[in-house]
Amino acid sequence: MIATPSTAQYAWHEAERSMFIHFGPATWQGQEYDDGSVPVEQMNPGLLDTGQWCRAVLSFGAKRIVFVAKHTGGFCWWQTDTTKYGVKNCPWKDGRGDVLGELSKSCQEYGLRLGIYLYPGDRTWGAYIGGGGKTKDPSLQEAYDRVFRTQLQEVLSGYGAIEEVWFDGSCLIEVGDILEDYAKEAVIFQGKYANIRWCGTERGMLPDEAWSAIDHEALAAGTATVVQSDPDGDTWAPLEVDTTLYDHFWFWSPENARKLKSLSELMRTYYHSAGRGGVLLLNVSPNTDGLIPAADMRRLEEFGREIDRRFGHPLGELSGEGYSFLLDFDTLQKVNHVVLMEDYRLGERIRKYRLEAGRRGEWIRIASGRQIGRKRILVFEQADTDALRLVVEEAADVPQLRSMAAFYVEAEDIPDLIVAQRAVSLIYDPVTDSWAAPGEGEKVLEWSADEIEGRSFSFAIDISYVITEPGQYELLFATEGAEELIIDSLQALLEEEAVEGVLTLIEPGRRYNLTRTSAVEDAGGGKTGLRGSIHCPGTGRRGTLTVKKVI
């Protein structure tokens, strides 16, 4: 049976573009984390205008705001009695201000949807970054659980319909009853109730194949990403692509504002997020006045206009059912883009296809692929053609094509986009701004029978020299014997902060996925430790652990 979206998932996915808003004490501190160094008495965003935030959303064609109501430091932007560390104790509006409330009203006024990011951790309780709400002091856990549950209920019950709930880094606190009561129609990001997934990086890119289906068991782990995508999976969980307007910072500061991404960088992000079937979540950061800077507003407007310029007026378009689709032109046309869309309400049925350009009855292949899903932007060398033909070579059921639209786009970045599209098995390197083949990985651990007492051993190693930047890394265990290892325990830690990294089981006893976001990177100073306990049955008492970057 093919996985299909729920009504809520479909509505969320159709928005295609959303705007993240990171705004908090870190904005005043000029850093990415709230460390409590700025007293709330100094936080007075006197010009704050949530209507301006909504106009920013609309300017680049987005339909939803996901607002960070509470980040890692625990500061709350709504009126709550759960903490003294919040807007209630700020001089702004004499302590009676409610940013979440004003934003909710503005979203209703501008016809936008609202999502809420509520960090499960909280520095003021010792609920550390990456811990999913766990407190360092176990004796505080029960009390903090009550606080977080109250906060979640407050933001979900008092501010109108909430379409999306973000639990960054998963949520280990039980909140299922609250979600059922107040956010039944919302999509959930991470945690055991998740029904959407993370793209796997913060660079604004999906890999060439980013299926919306996944096995239920993998999704229920709470931290599933694109690497667990499976076209034959039994559960629908589409992908969200979060990235920053500043490269690469989530909060405003005078220094960060100078790292505003170019229009070309934003367009590349669009091609590799929405253009590969995901939902783009672009972070925009108000300054200490509470306003999105004028330069940022202009760039967002340019972004929206450029998307419309490229894809607003097709040369021709069709839809239909079947395995072959023919788009005829009245005259010879220059074409270098085709946008394909499945009717994914029926699932991702198409599994392999080719696109051909015709001229006087002769056909040449100009593009091919496996996945289409909600949207697939194909870019290729200019074809002078009188017809285009899409041929579905493999499908799980009769293909339902929502749209096949042809375009000709003049832009300087087209050659780079063509190269990137061809890089199906390559990894994008943001340092060199290029695509390269994935390496074989680095051996970080070796063991042999002579070094093992009995058939078990424990290890603790520093793998910082391999985990050099945010992304996803594969941990691959290999043995000489046919038997798989028994991993009794495996834990990734940031050495300086004792913050847990996100480890996801991919293949028992053999393959794991390690996620490092820029958030965790900053908190731990780039230090990554790995420790575990392994049982080696049978002949598998000699082996290696290899780490390599996959996204």
Which pair of structure tokens corresponds to residue 366? 């100009």
Is residue 24 one of the residues assigned to a domain? yes
Query: Same domain, yes or no, for 151 and 94?
Result: yes
Is residue 194 one of the residues assigned to a domain? yes
Alpha helices (H) in 176-262, listed in sequence order: 176-182, 216-220, 254-257
Is residue 435 one of the residues assigned to a domain? no
Residue 432 has pLDDT above 70, yes or no: no
Q: The domain spanning residue 419 has which CATH number?
A: 2.60.120.260
Query: Same domain, yes or no, for 520 and 460?
Result: yes
Q: Higher pLDDT residue, 431 or 322?
A: 322
- Cα gap 70→89, rounded to integer Å: 15
Which pair of structure tokens corresponds to residue 210? 């980013």
Q: Which domain holds residue 493?
A: 442-549
Query: Same domain, yes or no, for 523 and 466?
Result: yes
pLDDT confidence of residue 270: 98
- How many Cβ atoms sit within 10 Å of the Cβ of residue 206? 24
Is residue 310 one of the residues assigned to a domain? no
Is residue 432 one of the residues assigned to a domain? no
Stretch 273-284: mean pLDDT: 98
Band of residue 507 on the pLDDT scale cut at 50, 70, 90 = confident
pLDDT in tens, 153-177: 999 999 999 999 999 989 999 999 9
Which residues are bridge partners to 428 per DSSP? 435
Query: Same domain, yes or no, for 202 and 334?
Result: no
pLDDT confidence of residue 117: 98
- Cα gap 307→61, rounded to integer Å: 9
Query: Same domain, yes or no, for 21 and 158?
Result: yes
Q: What CA–CA distances, in Å, run from 451 to 455, 477, 530, 544?
A: 10, 17, 19, 13
- Write down which residue in 254, 274, 305 finishes a domain: 305
- Write down which residue in 360, 391, 425 finishes a domain: 425
Query: Same domain, yes or no, for 338 and 466?
Result: no
Query: Same domain, yes or no, for 322 and 281?
Result: no
Torsion angle defined by CA atoms of residues 173, 134, 88 and 522, in that order, rounded to the nearest 10 degrees? -120
pLDDT confidence of residue 168: 95
Structural domains in the chain (count): 3
Query: Same domain, yes or no, for 355 and 396?
Result: yes
Q: Residue 259 in contact with residue 246, Cβ under 8 Å?
A: yes
Sign of the torsion formed by the C-alpha atoms of 371, 372, 376 and 382: positive
Is residue 257 one of the residues assigned to a domain? yes
Query: Same domain, yes or no, for 460 and 537?
Result: yes
Is residue 430 one of the residues assigned to a domain? no
Query: Same domain, yes or no, for 397 and 455?
Result: no
Which pair of structure tokens corresponds to residue 243? 């990235």
pLDDT in tens, 250-269: 999 999 999 999 999 999 99
Query: Same domain, yes or no, for 295 and 337?
Result: no
Residue 226 has pLDDT above 70, yes or no: yes
pLDDT in tens, 5-54: 999 999 999 999 999 999 999 999 999 989 989 999 999 999 999 999 99
* Segments of 285-416 assigned E as strands: 316-321, 324-342, 350-359, 362-369, 376-395, 400-407
Across the chain, mean pLDDT equals 90
Band of residue 520 on the pLDDT scale cut at 50, 70, 90 = very low
Q: Higher pLDDT residue, 201 or 521?
A: 201
Q: The domain spanning residue 125 has which CATH number?
A: 3.20.20.80
Band of residue 500 on the pLDDT scale cut at 50, 70, 90 = low
For 21, the 3-state DSSP assignment is: strand
Query: Same domain, yes or no, for 272 and 374?
Result: no
- Cα gap 300→285, rounded to integer Å: 12
- Write down which residue in 425, 450, 479 finishes a domain: 425
Q: What CA–CA distances, in Å, run from 343 to 214, 322, 327?
A: 19, 12, 18
Is residue 226 one of the residues assigned to a domain? yes
Q: Is pTM, for the whole model, over 0.85?
A: yes
pLDDT confidence of residue 450: 62
Q: What CA–CA distances, in Å, run from 202 to 284, 469, 516?
A: 14, 11, 10
HSE, side-chain direction, 13 A CA sphere, residue 210: 29
Residue 77 has pLDDT above 80, yes or no: yes
